[in-house]
Every structure is written in structure tokens, then in C-alpha cells.
Amino acid sequence: MKPLLEKLTLEPKNSFVLLRDKLPYYPTPWHYHPEYELVLVVKSSGKRIVGDNIENFNDGDLVFMGPNLPHVYDNDPEYYEGREDLEAEAIVIHFKEDFLGKGFFSIPEMHKVSRFFEKSKYGIKITGQTRTNVAQAMEDLFIYEEQTRIIKLLQILEELSLSQEYQLLASPGFVKNYSNSGSERLTNVYEYIMKNFASDIQLDEIAEKANMSPNAFCRFFKARTRKTFSTFLNEIRVGNACKLLIEDKLHISQICYESGFNNLSNFNRQFKKITGKSPLAYKKQHQVLGK
């Protein structure tokens, strides 16, 4: 199974795609597309992978992605259990660089937007007041007529291009080295890890999923993601632990094993290496922030 080349239907009367998805969970696997994409998570939680960046996402998550950057939004396990109280809702905007005419974003007045587009090849997480403003502007797009939506979208792009409230996601190494060759193997690996990270995944086991020897797989994975397999797996596991610590429903020892670590000392060591804090300090910090 190759990464999905996603194609959203563009109606003849529109120059860009605007849609609101309301689903039990986000169904799209590891995929890419030739369009720029702005994604607002209205409701739901899980893990977001953009290139080689792995983060938890929650309500309000806002990301702008450039063309052909592979990504996936993988909901938390409970979303796949058919629970009626859970819903994955998102607002998505797709557009090609020439959707307003060839060369439009090359004119002098669009210089800052063009620079923002260049940064988007890494994926851009929007934060702070900019995130609040753009999220509301995306909601408002649905009340306007088609011709007004163009103006409002340009205003959104202007605000994004002027803001300093952002974080680049994928690493330069990933963007430089990524290509579609070999992506079928990487897709199989990603999907297997996301479904089984809480289990004891052995190198031989994951290499078999890629139809490679362990040594060849290690070289392949490092070349494609700029991370070792063990680092990637630990980041997924620690991300899950962060979510469970914030929810504060389990003891730290339970969270350790629920997240795929087989002993507390290794869990504490990997958690601090990745987050800069101990699990207990991380939990206390978010308890304070939640008050």
C-alpha cells in the first residue's frame, strides 16, 4: 500500500476546497497531495505525524502544510471503538499555488506570503493569538459567498505570513531526503507502529513488515526519517504517556506499561530525554495549568 495521493473534489464554481469533516475518526492514512493545506482540528485528539515530526493533537490544533509533505492524523484508540460520544471534526482548506492565476504569489505585494509558503515545506504549527484568530476566520468562511471567500482566504494567508507565532515541524533532513521511492515500506512500518506501540515490538518483527533484513531496515529507516527506529518508537510511546498523564486517570506505573515501556527506570529516562521533564514533573505542570 503506497501513501495515498489524496484528491479532494473541486467544484467548478470554486477555486479552492473548503470542507468541514465530521466523522467517528479521521480515516485518511499516511498521505500527501500537491496542494497546500490548512487543517483546523475542531474536535478530537490523537497523534499527528508530519514528515518525521510526531506530536499529540487536541481541539484547536492548527497546521499549514506545503505540497507533497506526507502526514497523518491518527486518533486515540477509543475513537475506533464506535463510541457515540466521540467525534472527529475538522475544517480543511486545500488550494494549489496557482489557484488565483499563474504567478500571482510572485508579485511584490505577495512576497511575505510567498516566503511563508516556502517555510510550509516543513509543515507549520500555528500557535498563540494567531491560532485563535485564524481558527475563527476559518469558521466564518462558511457564511460568505464564493467571491467573498477568496478575499477572506487572502486575509488568512496575510495573517499567517506576518505572524511569529509558529513552529516548524518536519526536520530539514527529512524534507531534503524524502521521496516517494520506498514510501510503501515506510507506510507499512508507520501503520504497524501506530497500532502496536504498546506491545514489545522487536527489530526483526518490524523489519519483516518492511520485507527487509534488520540491518538493511535500520539503514533505510534512518535515511528516510533522520531518526533511528528506537528513537521514533520511543517518541510515539512518550507522546501517548503525555496524553495519559494529562488525563490523570492512571498511576505513573500504569502509564509506563500502557505506553509500551517494560520498566519504570527506562520509562523515566526516555520521558525526560524527550520532554526535558520527569513524568511526575510533567503531570504536576499540567495540573497547575489546568486550574
31-32 vs 4-5, strand pairing mode = parallel
Distance CA 48, CA 70 (A): 11
Task: Give residue 240's pLDDT.
Answer: 85
Tens-digit pLDDT profile for residues 195-212 = 888 899 999 999 998 899
Architecture of domain 4-172: Sandwich (2.60)
pLDDT of residue 2: 43
Q: Is 15 helix (H, G, I), strand (E, B) or coil?
A: coil
DSSP output for 164-232: --EEE-S-HHHHHH--STTHHHHHHHHHHHHHHTTS---HHHHHHHTTS-HHHHHHHHHHHHSS-HHHH
Quick check: 161 and 187 in contact, CB under 8 A? no
The count of residues in the chain is: 291
What is the pLDDT at residue 131? 98
| Residue 54 near residue 29, CB atoms below 8 Å | no
* 88-95 vs 71-75, strand pairing mode: unpaired
Architecture of domain 179-289: Orthogonal Bundle (1.10)
DSSP 37: E
What is the reported pTM? 0.76
Q: For the chain, first and last CA: distance in Å? A: 45
Q: Give 36's strand partners.
A: 95
Going from N- to C-terminal start, the domains of the chain cover: 4-172, 179-289
Residue reference for cell 506505573: 253
Which residue from 171, 176, 232 is spatially nearest to 206, judged by alpha carbons? 232
Question: Which residues, at least 6 apart from 87, have a Cβ–Cβ distance to it below 8 Å?
Answer: 22, 23, 24, 43, 44
Decide: 23 and 91 in contact? Cβ < 8 Å. no
pLDDT at 1: 36
* pLDDT, position 31: 84
Per-residue pLDDT of the chain (291 residues; tens, 9 = 90+): 344 556 667 777 789 999 999 999 998 888 888 999 999 999 999 999 898 788 899 999 999 999 988 898 999 989 999 888 999 999 999 999 999 999 999 999 999 999 999 999 999 999 999 999 999 999 999 999 988 999 999 999 999 999 999 999 987 767 766 655 556 777 788 878 888 888 999 999 999 988 999 999 999 998 888 889 999 899 889 988 988 888 888 999 999 999 999 999 999 999 999 999 999 999 888 776 554
Strand partners, 224: none
Residue 95 pairs with which residues in a beta bridge? 36
